[in-house]
A and B are shown apart, each in its own frame.
Chain A
Amino acid sequence: NAGVTQTPKFRILKIGQSMTLQCTQDMNHNYMYWYRQDPGMGLKLIYYSVGAGITDKGEVPNGYNVSRSTTEDFPLRLELAAPSQTSVYFCASSARAYTGELFFGEGSRLTVL
């Protein structure tokens, strides 16, 4: 059972470049999330989705965009990468919002130079 799969695992970007972090889950979960984790900090919510076609901003959405065309996929796009976006990004999904039990991917380490 694959669970939540993120690609790529590592990426180095130059300032101003754009890229998409891919996230796919095979558990038929309606709820999906993107978090970023900076050193010494907890996870901050970037965007979330409650189902296909529905997305909303989290705590730190600036500089990012998402889409949710299918239940399985929730890509995160970084436009005009900046050094402040250097972080580890985690995608997560959950079957029911109220339980708070998230299933996480392995993370994507992004460095912007």
Chain B
Amino acid sequence: AQTVTQSQPEMSVQEAETVTLSCTYDTSESDYYLFWYKQPPSRQMILVIRQEAYKQQNATENRFSVNFQKAAKSFSLKISDSQLGDAAMYFCAYKGSGGSNYKLTFGKGTLLTVNP
């Protein structure tokens, strides 16, 4: 079974600085998808960024980028120019690519605090 590990329960960053959140996963599949979801204090979870395992290029969405290391099964999220609105719980998630695979496996989350 796939597992997703986020080893940093909490992280903090100064406003305008850069922070990296770590995620590792375990899988025997060669094709899959990885995600970072953000859960602000209001609790509605939203997708931040997605990475397809078959793509070599790291995904980027504005100030958010990933460092995807397939061989190491590592998928970290870098937030540049951190803003107060980035404060949230961040979840790393994995999804297999099989036709009947509908399930996302989530890590336990990293609580990010942004200090003014």
Nearest-Cβ distance from residue B3 to partner chain A, whole angstroms = 10
Docked-complex contact A88 and B103, CB < 8 angstroms: no
B interface residue count range (under 10 / 10 to 19 / 20 to 34 / 35 or more): 20 to 34
Chain B, residue nearest A33 (CB):
B102
Docked-complex contact A100 and B45, CB < 8 angstroms: no
Q: Give A101 to B33 CA distance when docked, in angstroms.
A: 10
Segment 5-63 of B: residues with Cβ below 8 Å from A: 9, 33, 35, 37, 42-47, 50
Tell me if A99 is interfacial: C-beta within 8 Å of chain B. yes
A interface residue count range (under 10 / 10 to 19 / 20 to 34 / 35 or more): 20 to 34
Q: Which residues of A contact B4 (CB under 8 A)?
A: 42
Tell me if B106 is interfacial: C-beta within 8 Å of chain A. yes
**Of B45, B46, B102, B108, which contacts A31 at CB under 8 A?**
B102
Nearest-Cβ distance from residue B27 to partner chain A, whole angstroms = 14
Segment 65-93 of A: residues with Cβ below 8 Å from B: 88, 90, 92
Which 9 pairs of residues, A with B, have the shortest CB-CB distance?
Answer: A42-B106, A100-B95, A104-B45, A43-B106, A107-B43, A106-B44, A97-B102, A100-B33, A42-B108
**Can you give 12 A-B contacts (C-beta < 8 A)?**
A42-B91, A42-B108, A43-B106, A45-B104, A92-B45, A97-B102, A98-B97, A99-B50, A101-B47, A102-B47, A104-B45, A107-B44
